[in-house]
Every structure is written in C-alpha cells, then in structure tokens.
Amino acid sequence: MTETLGPRSRKVKILATLGPASSSPEMIRKLMLSGADAFRINMSHGDQASKAALVDAIRGLEDEFKRPTTILFDLQGPKLRVGQFADGAAQLENGATFILDRDPAPGNFKRVQLPHPELFDAITEGARLLVDDGKIRLKVIANERDRLVTEVQVGGRISNNKGVNVPDVLVPIPALTEKDRSDLQFAVSQGADWIALSFVQRPEDVAEARALIGDKAALLAKIEKPAALDQLNEIIALSDAVMVARGDLGVELPPEGVPPMQNRIIATARQFGKPVVVATQMLESMISSPTPTRAEVSDVANAIYDGADAVMLSAESAAGQFPCEAVQMMDRIGTTTERDPIYTARIHFTKTHLEPTTADALAGSARQIASTTSATAMLCYTSSGSTARRIARERPPVPLLAMTASKTIARRLGLLWGVHAVHTRDVSSFEEMVAKSRRMALRHKLAQGGDRLVLMAGVPFGTAGSTNVIHVVRLVGDELSSYKGTDDLAGQ
C-alpha cells in the first residue's frame, strides 16, 4: 500500500493546469508527487468527456495517497473576437484608418466585422481596441452606430477570429455565456471543488454565478479586467477566492501597471481572509526549456513574499515539454523562499485586521501562542472550513493540520496557504479531540515526542462557526505506536 502523502515542506500551494502534456493518469500522478497541490481544468479547450477522464484520474490519487485532491474548473468566459478576412488575414499599417462594423462579409485591410452588437452602443470616441493580445492597437476616432472608425496606432498582421480587448469600457456582456452555463453545470456534476469565473467586471457577475453554483462548489473570481479593480472590495467580498489573472490584465493595463495591481489584489484578498492565486507566465520559458530564467524565479518568489496562497502553472504544465520539472522548480522556489529569514516579516507587511468576533480573536491569539510557545504545528477541527481560513489568514509560523468530517471541505482547503487538510471521522468530546489531534500530528509527521501543539475547535462539535477553544498540548513519547484504536482517516 502506498504511504500517505503528508504535508509539503512549504506553505504556499501549487496549482497545476492539465492539458495535452499532462492528461494521462500517469503524468497527473507524477505532477502530484512533484509537488502539485491542486489541479486546474481549463474549459476553454477540449470537450466535457475528456474533462471527466481528468477528474477520474485526480480522484484516483485521493484513494492511493489518502490525501484529499483539489480540482478547479476554469470557465472560458465571453471572448470578444473580430470576424474573418477574405484572405484569412490582412496587414494593417500604422496611421491607417481601419473600420470594425456589423457587416458579416469577409474583411480586408480596410475593414472587418465585429460580431458583438452590444459593443457599438458602449464604445466611445477615444477608446482603445487591443487585438491579438495587444499586438495590434486601434484608437476609436468615431462611432457611427453601425461601425467603429479607428486609427491604427500599432499595426501588423491581423487574422481570422483574433481576440479583442476593450480596456477603457465596462463591456455590457455577462460573465457567463451559454457555453459557460453548460460547463458550470458539468463541473458541478463532476464534483468540482472550485469553479473559476472569467471576465469578472462587477459584483453582479459574481452574484449571478453564485446563484447557479449555490453551495455545490467554492467560487473563485478571476481579476483580469481593469474595470474589476474599481469594485475590487465588493467582488472579493462575494467570492470565496480570487485570482490575479495576469494574462488579460497585462494586455489591458500597461506592463508596468501590473505589479502594483498584483500587490493590491493580494493585499485586499489577505485583508478579507480569502485565498488569492497568482497566475500566468510565472515560469513561461519552461514551456520549452528545462530551466527558467532568473527573472521568472524572482517573479514566483515575489508573489510568495507578498503572501499569495497559491501560484499557478498554465501552459508550463498543460502543454510544455517539461511539466514535472516546472512543478518541481516551483516547489523548490517556494521552499527556499519560505526559509529566508526575512520571509516572515515580508508576509506580515500586509496588516490583516481581525473582525470583532470570537473566532477571529482566537485565530489571532492562536498564531501568537504558537510563536510564543515554539509549537511545531497547529491543528483545528472544522466543519465549514472557516476556522482553517481564519488561521491561514494570520499566516502562522507553523503548518496547520485541518481535520474535517466533510470530504468536500477537505478538498476545498487545498488552495489555502499552509493548510494540510485531512478527511477524518468526527469527534464527540473535548477529550477525544485532544487525543485524535495528538495522533494525527504524529501520523502526518508534524510533531514528535516533546513537541507542543496548538489546537483550535468549536464546542459543541460539528457546529459551523462555533470556534471557541484554544488548547496547548505537549506530546509525550511515541504516542502513535501505543495507539491501538481504529484508524482515524474517514473511509479507510
């Protein structure tokens, strides 16, 4: 029998995207052993049947390693695109006039269809249109109802169905397309732990998705539109987590504008106590190279220093030539960064303000107690995951073992900083909680004889939001070897 896969040596989580290079059960297993803590399934590519096979492979690892597996389904979102060209493409020259209109006839170097009628009412004179990830830049000089007259500021080759970004306009398009609704329903049917919502511009986008998802999955809002930054607090408040999606964000903002926005999003999510993922081009060169650039290593490290809960691999693990090496590199960067003597000071640079609740007060106190007593680990019982989130928000100096009787909650905690989740049988008394906490700390190699543990729980047990107990215990000898009871792991 394979040994239980215990906690990582780092607290930041690694989210690996699956794709052509990592779709086999064997490769997914290798990615998990390399350090992947959660897996992203991108609904922009492939069909639903192929995604179901990925889910089966990931859940199979859960049975093998006795470790909850975390799956994030990423919805495509609405994509603005130009129409088609008579020759498949056209060359646009700097300073030329180029028209986007409603006419479905094939385009040329003078015009092309923009098959999104709602844009013609929203786009105003002076607005920018960025085509093909910003490679071509157009400025609207006139809106004539059925056509947008633009000046080519940065020309180049434009081809069929290239994407269009409109950074200066709140685009009047819902965040969920018909495809997204179908994919969302499919993701829920597959037991998705997280669902990522693309193209979020306003709080209403999150509320719409939340109404469809209910409590069947946790909701992550991708911040990739500058318009979302105007209502960032409201969006984060309605979400379970957020992602700094630097792909489209980097197209619509000047490149130099992305780092401060990344820092702002991370800090705001930290203050709300919501997990935050940093994504896109983190180790981009490893798509075709076995080693990253030094700048990429610094990029990943800086996200970790800022306190991100997770860092994500996109094409590096989905379509690259070195998917395992990319995960291993990210694992080493995380481990090394967190060993830096200044790391603790850096992640606490962002001040998190405790809410005036018993649970928040205890979470803050537990972090201080763990530091003062030189505890080796913190443990908590949680039925909803809220206790684990509160503790993780405080970025304690030691790992957190979160025990829950809910397999669903155990899986969702896979994106949370410093948390190793365990699906375990529930407890019915304070004494049983203390005894099981001792055993689980030893089983998962978080402590040994003589070490102190800080425990948090709510009494009565099994009641969500009732965290009201902190308890410090010291392990005596090898308690695990003397334990003769039934296995603590649920379902094992």
Measured distance CA(308)–CA(417) in Å, rounded: 8
Which residues, 6 or more positions from 200, have their beta carbon under 8 angstroms from its beta carbon?
A: 175, 206, 221, 222, 223, 224, 225, 228, 235
The pLDDT of residue 418: 96
The pLDDT of residue 315: 96
- The tokens for 191 are 């037991």
- DSSP code for 158: E
Collapsed DSSP state (helix, strand, coil) of residue 107: strand
- DSSP code for 202: S
**pLDDT, one tens digit for every residue, the chain (492 residues):** 455 688 999 999 999 999 999 999 999 999 999 999 999 999 998 899 999 999 999 999 998 999 999 999 999 999 899 999 999 999 999 999 999 999 999 999 999 999 999 999 999 999 999 999 899 999 999 999 999 999 999 999 999 999 999 998 888 888 899 999 999 999 999 999 999 999 999 999 999 999 999 999 999 999 998 999 999 999 999 999 999 999 889 898 988 999 999 999 999 999 999 999 999 999 999 999 999 999 999 999 999 999 999 999 999 999 999 999 999 999 999 999 999 999 999 998 888 888 888 888 988 999 999 999 999 999 998 889 999 999 999 999 999 999 999 999 999 999 999 999 999 988 888 888 899 999 999 999 999 989 999 999 877 766 666 678 899 999 986 554 444 444 566 654
Which residues, 6 or more positions from 187, have their beta carbon under 8 angstroms from its beta carbon?
A: 41, 43, 73, 75, 195, 217
Burial of residue 401 (CB within 10 Å: 0-12, 13-18, 19+) is buried
Terminal Cα distance for the chain, rounded: 12
Do the bridges between strand 276-279 and strand 241-245 make them parallel or antiparallel, or are there none, so unpaired?
Answer: parallel
Number of Cβ within a 10 Å radius of residue 377: 24
Note the pTM of the prediction, 2 decimals. 0.92
Could you tell me the fold of the domain covering 89-165? Answer: M1 Pyruvate Kinase; Domain 3 (2.40.33)
Greatest alpha-carbon span in the chain? 82
The pLDDT of residue 476: 80
Measured distance CA(403)–CA(419) in Å, rounded: 10
Q: Which residues pair with 14 in a beta bridge?
A: 311
* Superfamily name with CATH number, domain 358-474: Pyruvate kinase, C-terminal domain (3.40.1380.20)
Burial of residue 322 (CB within 10 Å: 0-12, 13-18, 19+) is buried
Could you tell me the fold of the domain covering 13-77+175-342? Answer: TIM Barrel (3.20.20)
Kindly report, residue by residue over 296-339, the tens digit of the pLDDT. Answer: 999 999 999 999 999 999 999 999 999 999 999 999 999 999 99
- The tokens for 418 are 């410093």
- Domain segments of the chain as ranges: 13-77+175-342, 89-165, 358-474
Phi and psi at 8, nearest 5°, equal -75, 165
How far from 13 is each of 254, 266, 454, CA to CA, in Å?
A: 28, 15, 22
- Catalytic residues, by residue number, are 40, 81, 222, 280
